[in-house]
């Protein structure tokens, strides 16, 4: 068995694209590479190293466990945990030198009790995303609890933008930034000036220069995708991941044959049907057939033929196709002159590129290029 396993299906991750995207983004402001959710499916330690090599100065994760994974991989860069760790995770977060985000007084108390030496923490203010964060009315008390705890050090203040990727809602982004500024001004008047201030995700970094502050927290742009089709990337971004497989079976079917569970795809003429060893258990959602999903086969776009099954899907290669077992096919990425982007798949499915990338499951081996 090879490192990839026996099944000819894999996700190719080009680490030189990650480094190049990091370098381009770091031109805008110091970069925090968001590598939560296994780096949006790309592989967290590998992406973290490539992003740091490209010029990122921080990493961000959603969970303490994700930060621990980076430390176990020998990565020593600053790691921000984007949500307040639960009380029982604080000691480990402290021991592994992760920077927690805090936004409740019980959270501050738990962090202060866990810290055995001064622990730099960031405080998050909810300026309008309404997911997590101290409300503008509570943030002074949370910050006060941090500054009065001998074992804690206020190292950062940040917020998160809800619609930075939607230009028609720019007035709401401006309102969030106004609320953030008001809190900063109030804290400064009380003598509290956090050394690191940050607000921008990829869309904030690309489309809202005022949101860049001291650090931009980029995920999707690091992976080479725009945050939404409405955002013009102001730097060059190269998609880092491709999803590929080799044809596992080929047959010619007559007109009128029906394919896969439910028999929902009917051949219109005698045609070549290829089987591809990827399915919904790998993150290729079952709905992709009905949504009009295609694959690149022999440099041509071919429709998925019938519902995607758990481990395999079928593709209609057309009557004259010269397709053989072992031929490489592309679900996301380039082949010949054509490319199927994660955004193209996302738009067919009524979702976003983030979800398409994160869905590529752990059963699909990641193959790293450009190490």
Ligand X SMILES: Cc1ncc(COP(=O)(O)O)c(C=O)c1O
Q: Is 218 a residue that touches ligand X (CB under 6 A)?
A: yes
- In angstroms, the CA 9 to CA 275 distance is 12
In eight-state DSSP terms, residue 283 is T
Residue facing ligand X at closest CB distance: 219
Can you tell me which of 122, 217, 244, 366 binds ligand X, judged by CB under 6 A? Answer: 217
In the residue annotation, 6 being an active-site residue is answered as: no
Residue 198 and residue 168 in contact, taking contact as beta carbons nearer than 8 Å:
no
Least separation in angstroms between CB 19 and ligand X: 17
Residue 249 and residue 275 in contact, taking contact as beta carbons nearer than 8 Å:
yes
Q: Going residue by residue from 74 to 93, which x/- string records binding to ligand X, judged by CB under 6 A?
A: --------x-----------
Helix (H), strand (E) at residue 179 = helix 170-189
Least separation in angstroms between CB 204 and ligand X: 8
Helix (H), strand (E) at residue 202 = helix 202-207
By rule CB under 6 A, what count of residues binds ligand X? 12
State the pairing for strand pair 196-200/300-303. Answer: unpaired
Looking at beta carbons only, is 64 or 203 nearer to ligand X? 203
Q: Is 283 a residue that touches ligand X (CB under 6 A)?
A: no
Q: Is 293 a residue that touches ligand X (CB under 6 A)?
A: no
**Concatenated DSSP letters for 88-110?**
GGHHHHHHTT-EEEE-SHHHHHH
Neighbouring residues of 28: CB distance < 8 A, sequence distance ≥ 6 = 205, 206, 209, 212, 216, 234, 235
Residue 29 and residue 213 in contact, taking contact as beta carbons nearer than 8 Å:
yes
In the residue annotation, 223 being an active-site residue is answered as: no
Our measurement of the distance from residue 212's CA atom to the centroid of its chain's CA atoms, rounded to an integer in Å, reads 19
Q: Is 34 a residue that touches ligand X (CB under 6 A)?
A: yes
Q: Is 134 a residue that touches ligand X (CB under 6 A)?
A: no
Least separation in angstroms between CB 307 and ligand X: 30
Residue 300 and residue 315 in contact, taking contact as beta carbons nearer than 8 Å:
no
Neighbouring residues of 178: CB distance < 8 A, sequence distance ≥ 6 = none
Looking at beta carbons only, is 201 or 285 nearer to ligand X? 201
Q: Is 201 a residue that touches ligand X (CB under 6 A)?
A: yes
Both tokens of residue 282? 């790998």
- In angstroms, the CA 348 to CA 142 distance is 44
- In angstroms, the CA 112 to CA 148 distance is 10
Looking at beta carbons only, is 38 or 260 nearer to ligand X? 38
Looking at beta carbons only, is 253 or 346 nearer to ligand X? 346
User: Which residues in the 155-194 window bind ligand X by CB under 6 A?
Assistant: 160
Both tokens of residue 122? 């960031």
Among the candidate windows 17-25, 142-150, 196-204, 234-242, which touches ligand X by CB under 6 A?
196-204
Q: Is 69 a residue that touches ligand X (CB under 6 A)?
A: no
Can you tell me which of 202, 267, 312, 353 binds ligand X, judged by CB under 6 A? Answer: 202
Least separation in angstroms between CB 34 and ligand X: 4
> Which member of 109, 124, 244, 261 is catalytic?
261
130: phi > 0 → left, psi -120 to 50 → alpha, else beta; which? left
> Which member of 36, 124, 280, 354 is catalytic?
36
Q: Going residue by residue from 220 to 259, which x/- string records binding to ligand X, judged by CB under 6 A?
A: xx-----x--------------------------------
Can you tell me which of 41, 43, 128, 219 binds ligand X, judged by CB under 6 A? Answer: 219
Least separation in angstroms between CB 32 and ligand X: 8
Least separation in angstroms between CB 79 and ligand X: 13
State the pairing for strand pair 328-335/241-246. Answer: antiparallel
- In angstroms, the CA 104 to CA 215 distance is 23
Looking at beta carbons only, is 130 or 268 nearer to ligand X? 130
Q: Is 39 a residue that touches ligand X (CB under 6 A)?
A: no
By three-state DSSP, how is residue 306 classified? coil
- Give, in degrees to the nearest 5, the angle at Cα 87 between 80 and 112: 75
Least separation in angstroms between CB 325 and ligand X: 38
Q: Which residue ranges make up the site for ligand X (CB under 6 A)?
A: 34, 82, 160, 201-203, 217-221, 227
- Active site positions, annotated: 36, 261
């Amino acid at each position: 068995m090879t490192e990839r396993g026996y099944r000819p299906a894999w996700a190719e991750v080009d680490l030189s694209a990650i480094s190049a995207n990091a370098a381009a983004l770091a031109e805008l402001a110091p970069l925090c590479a968001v590598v939560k959710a296994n780096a949006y499916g790309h592989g967290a330690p590998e992406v973290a190293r490539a992003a740091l090599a490209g010029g990122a100065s921080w990493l961000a994760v959603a969970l303490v466990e994700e930060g621990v994974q980076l430390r176990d991989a020998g990565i020593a860069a600053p790691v921000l945990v984007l949500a307040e760790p639960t009380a029982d995770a604080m000691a480990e977060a402290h021991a592994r030198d992760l920077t927690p985000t805090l936004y409740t007084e019980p959270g501050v108390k738990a962090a202060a009790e866990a810290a055995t030496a001064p622990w730099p923490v960031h405080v998050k203010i909810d300026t309008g995303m309404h997911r997590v964060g101290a409300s503008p009315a509570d943030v002074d008390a949370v910050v006060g609890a941090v500054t009065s705890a001998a074992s804690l050090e206020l190292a950062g203040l940040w917020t998160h933008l809800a619609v930075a990727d939607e230009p028609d809602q720019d007035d709401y982004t401006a309102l969030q930034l106004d609320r953030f500024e008001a809190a900063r001004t109030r804290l400064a008047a009380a003598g509290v000036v956090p050394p690191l201030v940050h607000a921008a995700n990829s869309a904030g970094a690309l489309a809202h220069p005022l949101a860049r502050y001291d650090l931009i927290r980029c995920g999707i742009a690091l992976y080479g995708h725009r945050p939404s089709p409405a955002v013009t990337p102001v730097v060059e971004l190269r998609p880092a991941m491709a999803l590929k497989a080799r044809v596992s079976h080929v047959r010619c079917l007559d007109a009128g044959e029906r394919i896969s569970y439910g028999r929902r795809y009917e051949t219109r003429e005698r045609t070549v049907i290829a089987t591809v060893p990827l399915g919904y258990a790998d993150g290729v959602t079952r709905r992709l057939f009905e949504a009009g999903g295609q694959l690149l086969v022999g440099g041509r776009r071919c429709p998925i033929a019938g519902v995607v099954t758990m481990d395999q899907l079928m593709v209609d290669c057309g009557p004259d196709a010269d397709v053989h077992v072992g031929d490489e096919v592309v679900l996301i990425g380039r082949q010949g002159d054509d490319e199927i982007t994660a955004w193209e798949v996302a738009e067919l499915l009524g979702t976003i590129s983030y979800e398409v990338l994160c869905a590529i499951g752990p059963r699909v081996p990641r193959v790293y290029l450009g190490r």
